[in-house]
Amino acid sequence: MTDSYWSLLLPLLRGLIVTIELAGIILLVGTVCGVVGGVLSALGGITLRILFGSIIFVVRGIPLLVQVFIVFYLLPFMGLTLSAFVTAIIALSVFASATIMEIVRGGIEAVPHGQTEAAMAVGFSRGQSMYVVVLPQAMMSILPPLITQFVFLVKATSIISLLGVPEIMLSGREVIERTLLGFEVMTMIWLLYTAICYPLTMLGRHLEAVLSARGFQAVKN
C-alpha cells in the first residue's frame, strides 16, 4: 500500500519541482517588471501612462488560458522556436508583470501627495523622493494584494500543463491515466499547491507585521 502511494507521489514531486521553478521565475520577473513599470507609470509622463495603460487593458481583457495560447502560437509565427517551458514563462510573466504593475501603481498613488512635496522641498530628486519616501509607504498597501496575486500566479501555472510542460498538474493527469485513481491523485495535487501557497500567505502576514512594527502604516490622511 505505501509502495503504491509512493509510486503515485513520486511523479507529482517531480512535477512540484517544475511548478516551483516556473512560479519562482514568473514571480521574480513579474515583480521586477511590475515594480519598475509601476514606478515609471507613476513618475512618468503621459506617453508612458498610455503605453502601460494599453498593455494592461489588453492583458486584462483576455482570459489567461487564451493569452497563454496566443503566446504559444505567436512565437513560432514570429520565427521563434522556444521550448514549452520558456513559452510558458513568457506568457505568464507578461500577465504577472501587467497585474503587479497595476498593484504597485495603485499603492504609489495612495500615498498622499504631500509626502512627495515634502521630499522635493528638502531637496530630494524625483527618484529619491520615490524610493526614500513614497515607495516604503506604498509597501503597506501594495503587500496584501501582491501576496494574493503571487498565490494566484502559483496556481495559474497549472494552466501550463496544457502546453505539455510536466508540472504538477500534467504529471498528475498522467498518473491518473495510468492508475485511474482520480480522486486520490487530485487530492495530492491539491495538497501540494497548498504546500506552496500557504507558506507564501504566511510570509506575507509576517512581512506586514514586521513593517508595521517599524512604523510603516497603511496610508492615511
Partner 1 sequence: MADAELMVRVDGVGKSFGTHKVLDGVSLEVPKGSVCIIIGPSGSGKSTLLRCINFLEPYQAGSIAIEDELVGYSQIDRKRKLRPRREITRMRGETGMVFQQFNLFAHMTALENVAIAPIKVKGVERKQARDDAERLLVKVGLAERMSAYPGFLSGGEQQRVAIARALAMAPKVLLLDEITSALDPERVGEVLEVIRTLADEGMTMLVVTHEMGFAHDIADQVVFMDEGQVIERGAVDILDDPKTSRLKGFLGKLEIDE
Q: Which residues bind partner 1 (CB under 8 A)?
A: 112, 114-115, 117-126, 128, 132-133, 136-137, 214-217, 219-221
Q: Which three cell numbers stand for residue 115?
A: 509626502
Of residues 44 and 76, the one with the C-beta less far from partner 1: 44
What's the closest the beta carbon of residue 48 comes to partner 1, in angstroms?
17
Of residues 31 and 115, the one with the C-beta less far from partner 1: 115
Kind plus residue range of the DSSP H or E element containing 158: none
Of residues 8 and 142, the one with the C-beta less far from partner 1: 142
- CB-based burial label for 157 (10 Å; 0-12, 13-18, 19+): buried
DSSP 62: S
H-assigned helices in the chain: 2-43, 46-61, 64-77, 84-110, 113-121, 126-128, 135-156, 168-179, 182-213
Of residues 23 and 40, the one with the C-beta less far from partner 1: 40
What's the closest the beta carbon of residue 146 comes to partner 1, in angstroms?
17
What's the closest the beta carbon of residue 107 comes to partner 1, in angstroms?
13
Of residues 117 and 177, the one with the C-beta less far from partner 1: 117
Distance CA 52, CA 88 (A): 22
Distance CA 167, CA 46 (A): 41
What's the closest the beta carbon of residue 215 comes to partner 1, in angstroms?
4
Of residues 197 and 207, the one with the C-beta less far from partner 1: 207
Distance CA 92, CA 159 (A): 10
What's the closest the beta carbon of residue 94 comes to partner 1, in angstroms?
32
Amino acid at 106: G
Query: Is 71 within 8 Å of 2 (Cβ atoms)?
Result: no
Of residues 162 and 218, the one with the C-beta less far from partner 1: 218
**Residue 112: which region, alpha, beta or left (left: phi > 0; alpha: psi -120 to 50)?**
beta
What's the closest the beta carbon of residue 135 comes to partner 1, in angstroms?
10
What's the closest the beta carbon of residue 114 comes to partner 1, in angstroms?
4
What are residue 81's phi and psi, to 5 degrees?
-105, 105
